[in-house]
Every structure is written in C-alpha cells, then in structure tokens.
Amino acid sequence: MTPSSPSSSVQQAREALGKRLREIRKESGLTARAVAAAAGWHESKSSRLESGKTPPSDADIRSWTCICDAEDQTADLIATARGIDGMYIEWRRLESTGLKRVQESVLPLFERTHRFRFYQSWVVPGLLQTQDYTRAVLNTVVSLRQTPDDTEGAVAARMDRQRVLHAGGRRFAFLIEEWVLRTVIGDHATMVSQLGHLIGMTAIPAVSLGVIPMGTVRGDAWPTESFAIYDEAQVSVELVSANLTVKQPREIAEYAKTFSELARIAVYGVPARKVIASAIDALG
C-alpha cells in the first residue's frame, strides 16, 4: 500500500493530484490549451500540472477550478497540495536527533485538538501507556532503528503529554485490538501493570475505551494500520518505515468512516474490562 521511499510516495501523490485536475478539466469540456489561455499561462503549464511535474500553487488551483467551474473543489485540492511534501516522513529521518524531540514535537497538535480518535493494532495508545510500558516500547525502537538513545527524556515527554487527558474540554475515543492486550511488551509485570492501568482509565468521563475482541465477525471492519484522527483537521498513520500525515478532507473522512466501522464491533464498559481482565489472567 505504501511506496518504498518518501520521494516515490510524494511523486505518486503529485501525479494523483494532477490526474484530478485533468478530470476536472475534461468534465468542463475544456482543452488544456484553453485552460492555459484563460489563466494567462504558457500552454505547457497545463500539461505539467496534469502530469504532476509541476506542483500547483494555491493560486494555480483557484484559477483552474474557477475556469473549469469547479470552485466547490478548491479547498479540497489546496489542502491536498499543501500536504503532499510533508505527508510521508521516514522514521529514520524523523528520529535522527532522538526520540525526545519526536515526543515533544506533537504536543502543539495535542494541545489544539479537542476530539481525539485513536485506533491501535500494534501497541497500547501512547496517552494510555504506563511509564514502564512506554520505556519498553521506546527501548525497542532504539534497538530496531538504531536511533540516538535518549529514552528517559522521551519517556518523560510522553508522560507529560498525558496531561491533556485531564485538561478539560476534550473527548478521547480509543479502539484497541485484543491481540494488543495479549502481546507482551517489556515483561509480564510491565504488562500486568499496563492492563490494570487501562481498566482504571475507563473511569475517566472524557475517555471512551473500546476493545475489539479476537474472534469477532469483522464484516467491513477489517483490521488496519494504527492511526489517529485529530478533530477533522489531520490523520496520522503509523507505517512500518514511516509516519504518514493526511490533511486532505476526503481522505480524513475515509479514516473517520473506518473508525466508525471499527467502533461498531468493539465492546465497551464492563465487557471491555472483562476482555482486559482476561488478558491479565492469561499472564498468570
């Protein structure tokens, strides 16, 4: 699903944007030459925009949609264009100066967000992690990716970020696959403490914690890569090699739909706590 490198991913996104511009033009019945003439461009610019060779500016998009009578798509296209260059960042590059900086870099996003939706198919969500569990996760990251080892600073930064849970005026919806609860991170004592912490978190009024039990009939709610939705402004997707940031409204809506589908097959409250307790029992 994901291109093998950031450059190829960005180029594919530019080509996809160019294809959308071409479709809009064709639906309007105009030729590329006619659009260029109406916009006051050299005629080759239209073909460069449609092929993805030239990234469109905000002004280019406004002109294109105005000429093609598709101004209802302007905001969507501008959001897509703005997000392309920064949407796919390799973990190796993101973490090159250490994990603490990565943890601190997302704090402004958390502070300005009011509605959080997290789906996790890999590990317990960061906002719900205990200190020992976070340390075990980040130690593994350091080992696998050979990043600078500033784990203790990164752990402290993640723990500090959890204050948003109690800041007021925010809502948090978490969905966790049951196998995450049964995957031992660190050691058994770390997992028992982490799972007990999850049970306690269900008492926070602003937090909704759903667990998708193993063996559930999935229907359309297939497991997917872990992702987080911040209001209706941004989606962050965790890939094996990189972090993907989505800001295009249409794609954000797709993730929101996926989250809703997964939420429908999750269990909450007492049933969720029973699933977590069962995972604790399995640790002996």
* pLDDT at residue 1 in the model: 35
pTM: 0.72
Region 58-63: mean pLDDT is 95
What DSSP character marks residue 150?
Answer: -
* pLDDT at residue 4 in the model: 35
Yes or no: say if 32 and 46 are a contact pair by the CB < 8 Å rule: yes
Confidence class for position 63, pLDDT limits 50, 70, 90 = very high
Q: Report the alpha-carbon distance of residue 183 to residue 88 in Å, rounded.
A: 28
The 8 Å CB, 24+ separation contacts for 97-100 are: 97/148, 98/147, 98/148, 98/149, 98/150, 98/153, 98/154, 99/138, 99/141, 99/142, 99/147, 99/148, 99/150, 99/151, 99/153, 99/154, 100/150, 100/153, 100/154, 100/156, 100/157
Q: Which residue has the higher pLDDT, 239 or 16?
A: 16
Q: Indicate the length of the chain as a whole number.
A: 284
Highest mean pLDDT among 12-21, 69-78, 87-96, 188-197: 188-197
Confidence class for position 92, pLDDT limits 50, 70, 90 = low
Residue 110 has pLDDT above 70, yes or no: yes
Yes or no: say if 158 and 104 are a contact pair by the CB < 8 Å rule: no
* pLDDT at residue 9 in the model: 54
Condensed to tens digits (0 to 9), the pLDDT of residues 219-243 reads 989 999 999 999 999 999 887 656 7
Q: Which residue has the higher pLDDT, 88 or 159?
A: 159
Q: Which residue has the higher pLDDT, 118 or 103?
A: 118
Q: What is the CA angle 266-272-276, rounded to 5?
A: 120
Phi-psi region of 116 (alpha: psi -120 to 50; beta: other; left: phi over 0): beta
Residue 42 has pLDDT above 50, yes or no: yes
* pLDDT at residue 250 in the model: 82
Region 111-137: mean pLDDT is 96
Confidence class for position 126, pLDDT limits 50, 70, 90 = very high
Confidence class for position 93, pLDDT limits 50, 70, 90 = low
Residue 48 neighbours by CB under 8 Å, 6+ apart: 54
Instruction: Pick the closest to residue 232 from 218, 215, 247 (CA basis).
Output: 247
Q: Report the alpha-carbon distance of residue 206 to residue 226 in Å, rounded.
A: 21
* pLDDT at residue 147 in the model: 80
Quickly tell me which residue has 């809506």 as its tokens: 253
Compute the Cα dihedral for 30, 31, 37, 42 and give only its sign: positive
Q: Which residue has the higher pLDDT, 225 or 244?
A: 225
Compute the Cα dihedral for 148, 150, 155, 156 and give only its sign: negative
* pLDDT at residue 247 in the model: 81
User: What domains can be seen in the chain, in order of their start residue?
Assistant: 6-84 (1.10.260.40), 88-282 (3.30.870.10)
Phi-psi region of 168 (alpha: psi -120 to 50; beta: other; left: phi over 0): left
Helices (H) and strands (E) in the chain, counts: 14, 7
Region 25-33: mean pLDDT is 95
